[in-house]
Amino acid sequence: MGLTEKRSGYSDGMPELPDVEVYRREFARTGLHREVAGVHTPDVTMLTGVSRRRLREDLEGAELTTTRRHGKHLFARIGSSRWLMLHFGMTGRLEHVRPEGTLPAHARFTLAFDDGWALVLDDQRRLGRVSIVDDPDEYVATFGLGEDALRIDRQTFRNLLCGRRGGLKSALMDQSVIAGIGNVYSDEILFQSRLHPRSRPPDLDSAGYDRLHRRLRRVLTMAADRNADPASVPRTWLLPHRTNGERCPRRNGHIEKHHIVGRGAYLCPVCQSAG
DNA sequence: AGTACCACCTGACGGC
DNA sequence: TGCCGTCAGGTGGTAC
């Protein structure tokens, strides 16, 4: 985090399911049922499959009527037809800016409303995406996204994992299997389930699957309800202790950083014995 | 099928 | 001081 400014009541991490759910709630609270007065896209690199002109034509003068989230994707319905789609990449976040307020430093997409307030997608590294799609379900199908992590029941979860031969962390993060979990929350879920990120589905017994599923749901819902803010989650979570060598919050061992499926994975070698 | 590696993009940080 | 390599990790592509 370093010198990144701290904002209260807002997600502070990489945009995974809980962070995007926080943005969805913010969007639903502040961006619906009011006229869009202006659309600003100073930089087109994040626009995918939609031109600046089309964005303006579809949005200006319209009202957004409802929101949806699927994994890390946020959708907002434009009137009763198409949907605006926002993806936050690695550094994207949604900000609600007051009239005459200062835009965030990397404002890539601004929805200005007729009351002067604006919703702004700020994304320093420009790895996020802005698009307009006909239908979220169609988008999900076209891009092969798995079911949303919070809508997967116990049995489905088990079926999705049991055929896989790779490690658990890899499976949890695979958006085509389960949509919404990234590097940080996969570590958290595995830590709380006391499972090693490299352990494999065949290593799990029935109780193991159930525990993993319960923890997955609990971690993602609790994180979203606490604004996906690492400072607001319980101190017993791994999240506030993602530092090599730091004491495990259960006081069992010391946190280690590993390199797993191309990511920096944090784990407690004592709690999460390799399977 | 799974993994490794690169690219995209920017900024922080450590080494020299 | 300042240049340079490395790291951060979501997604998508290629190669093995």
Q: Which residues touch strand C (CB under 7 A)?
A: A 14-16, 71-73, 87, 89-90, 125, 127, 143, 173, 175, 182-184, 257, 262-264
**Among A261, A271, A270, A264, which residue's Cα sits nearest to residue A198?**
A261
The residue-averaged pLDDT of A177-181 equals: 95
Side chain identity at residue A251, one-letter code? R
The answer to whether residue A193 scores a pLDDT higher than 90 is: yes
| A115-to-A47, A100, A148 alpha-carbon distances in Å | 26, 11, 34
pLDDT value of residue A18: 96
pLDDT value of residue A262: 86
Query: For the stretch A68-90, what's the b/e string if a residue is b when 16 or more beta carbons lie within 10 angstroms of its beta carbon?
Result: bbbbbbbbbbbeeebbbbbbbbe
**Strand C: which positions are within 7 A of a protein CB?**
7-12
**A262 CA from B4 C1′ (Å):** 8
pLDDT-derived band of residue A5, with 50, 70 and 90 as boundaries? very low
Q: Give A199's strand partners.
A: none
The residue-averaged pLDDT of A29-46 equals: 95
Distance of alpha carbon A169 from its chain centroid, rounded?
A: 16
* Separation of alpha carbons A96 and A110, rounded Å: 10
The answer to whether residue A33 scores a pLDDT higher than 60 is: yes
Give the residue whose CA sits closest to B6 at C1'. Answer: A262
pTM over 0.75: yes
**A31 CA from B2 C1′ (Å):** 42
Percentage of chain A modeled with pLDDT above 90:
85
The residue-averaged pLDDT of A54-81 equals: 97
The answer to whether residue A13 scores a pLDDT higher than 80 is: no
The answer to whether residue A180 scores a pLDDT higher than 90 is: yes
**Among A61, A75, A65, which residue's Cα sits nearest to residue A113?**
A61
**Strand B: which positions are within 7 A of a protein CB?**
1-6, 8-13
The answer to whether residue A10 scores a pLDDT higher than 60 is: no
pLDDT value of residue A274: 67
The answer to whether residue A194 scores a pLDDT higher than 70 is: yes
* Backbone φ, ψ for residue A139 (5° rounding): -60, -45
Angle, vertex CA A215, rays to CA A22 and CA A175, nearest 5: 60
Q: Are strands A147-148 and A178-179 parallel, antiparallel or unpaired?
A: parallel
**A210 CA from B7 C1′ (Å):** 38
- Across chain A, mean pLDDT equals 92
